[in-house]
């Protein structure tokens, strides 16, 4: 197994992986260290069954089971399927609605981190390309440590100590216009949540900007100012200098860290081609606010914040 960092150190390729990703304890340790350092690991030419995918992922942490269950692989509830293929004939795309028979289509077409709209967002995700179109369908990844570092000092001061409201309820139809609206029960299961804008990574201890497309407003700011700040931060993070574009080959498996990166699916001709991806998802932890040089402000905000 060889780990080759990308030019600017954001992301690394993992080559010569053993079949089924059956790696030794030493290799696993090396993978974990490289993952914390580079945030994104691109395993190349992987050949693994769903069982091996789950087994390897479990060695990285406890696994999350996605809901609704209908998009998970039959017999493997830990494997979430992103696909536009027909279940009857997986070599053919199904046309039309949001819910391809074999999985959920048009997942993540907008910059986000997995589970950002939940109280405990997902720590990492591991996406394995089973079948990809001959063109397009790339995934973009953003280095949110670098984004935070590059923010103007004045903005760093404004965001220090602040939290953002994330709402699946407010934005479900905006981001998934083809899906059915949330039922009352689903709404009860997905209440709004608040997360810090500056997030300290639990292992690297580095600070990143934590934001994504389910962000609605910034706690404690007037409405217009809050909306402007969210838009500014979302747009700032889209600058090409922070982005690695993954062009998929089937057999690639990309492990990303949702605590310090964002990602975004891009389109392809889904009436003509099939794109089928299998994802395992790691449980995470409650996001921790970074302590900044604006420490006094953080303390004040915590004391006087009204939720
Ligand atoms: C995901 C996701 C992007 C893609 O699975 O979490 O956002 O390109 N997928 O399929
Ligand atoms: Mn995603």
The per-residue pLDDT for 68 is 85
The per-residue pLDDT for 100 is 65
Q: Tokens 């819910």 label which residue?
A: 99
Q: Are 120 and 98 in contact (CB under 8 A)?
A: no
CATH number of 2-301: 3.30.365.10, 3.40.50.150, 3.30.420.10, 3.60.130.10? 3.60.130.10
The per-residue pLDDT for 97 is 64
Calculate how far, in angstroms, residue 155's C-alpha sits from the geometric centre of ligand 2: 27
pTM here is 0.94
Q: Give every strand in the sheet of 261-265, ordered side by side.
A: 243-246, 139-143, 261-265
Spell 87-124 as b/e; 16+ CB within 10 A means b.
Answer: eeeeeebbeeeebbbbbbbbbbeebbbbbbbbeebbbb
Phi, psi of 250 (to 5 degrees): -65, 140
Tell me the two tokens of residue 4: 């080759």
The per-residue pLDDT for 305 is 41
Mean of the per-residue pLDDT values of the chain: 93
257 sits in which H/E element: strand 253-257
Best substitution site from 53, 264, 270, 277 to test ligand 1's pocket, by max atoms within 8 Å of Cβ? 277
Assign 217 to helix, strand or coil. strand
Calculate how far, in angstroms, residue 266's C-alpha sits from the geometric centre of ligand 1: 9
Pick from 106, 158, 306, 141: which is nearest to 212 by CA? Answer: 141
Q: Where are the domains of the chain?
A: 2-301
Tell me the helices (H) and strands (E) count for the chain, helix number first: 8, 18
The residue whose CA is least distant from atom 2 of ligand 1 is: 108
Q: Which residues of the chain have pLDDT under 50?
A: 294-307
Q: Please report the atom of ligand 1 found closest to the CA of residue 138.
A: 8
């Amino acid at each position: 197994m060889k780990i080759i960092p990308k030019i600017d150190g954001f992301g690394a390729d993992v080559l010569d992986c053993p079949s089924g990703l059956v790696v030794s304890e030493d290799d696993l340790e090396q993978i974990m260290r490289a993952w914390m350092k580079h945030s994104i690991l691109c395993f190349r030419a992987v050949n693994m069954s769903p069982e091996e995918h789950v087994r390897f992922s479990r060695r990285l942490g406890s696994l999350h089971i996605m809901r609704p269950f209908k998009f998970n692989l039959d017999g493997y509830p830990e494997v979430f399927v992103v696909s536009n293929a027909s279940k009857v004939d997986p070599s053919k795309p199904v046309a039309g609605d949001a819910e391809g028979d074999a999985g959920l289509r048009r997942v993540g077409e907008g910059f986000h981190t997995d589970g950002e709209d939940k109280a405990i967002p997902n720590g990492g995700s591991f996406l394995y390309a089973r079948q990809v179109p001959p063109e397009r369908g790339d995934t973009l990844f953003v280095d949110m440590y670098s984004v935070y570092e590059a923010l103007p000092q004045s903005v760093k001061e404004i965001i220090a100590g602040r939290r953002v409201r994330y709402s699946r309820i407010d934005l479900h139809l905006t981001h998934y216009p083809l899906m059915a609206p949330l039922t009352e029960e689903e709404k009860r299961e997905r209440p709004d949540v608040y997360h810090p804008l500056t997030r300290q990574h639990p292992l690297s201890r580095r600070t990143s900007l934590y934001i994504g497309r389910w962000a609605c407003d910034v706690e404690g700011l007037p409405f217009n100012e809050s909306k402007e700040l969210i838009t500014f931060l979302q747009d700032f993070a889209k600058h090409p200098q922070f982005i690695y574009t993954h062009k998929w080959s089937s057999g690639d498996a990309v492990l990303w860290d949702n605590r310090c990166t964002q990602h975004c699916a891009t389109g392809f001709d889904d009436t003509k081609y099939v794109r089928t991806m299998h994802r395992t998802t790691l449980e995470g932890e409650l996001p921790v606010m970074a302590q900044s040089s604006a420490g006094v402000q953080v303390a004040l905000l915590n004391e006087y914040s009204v939720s």
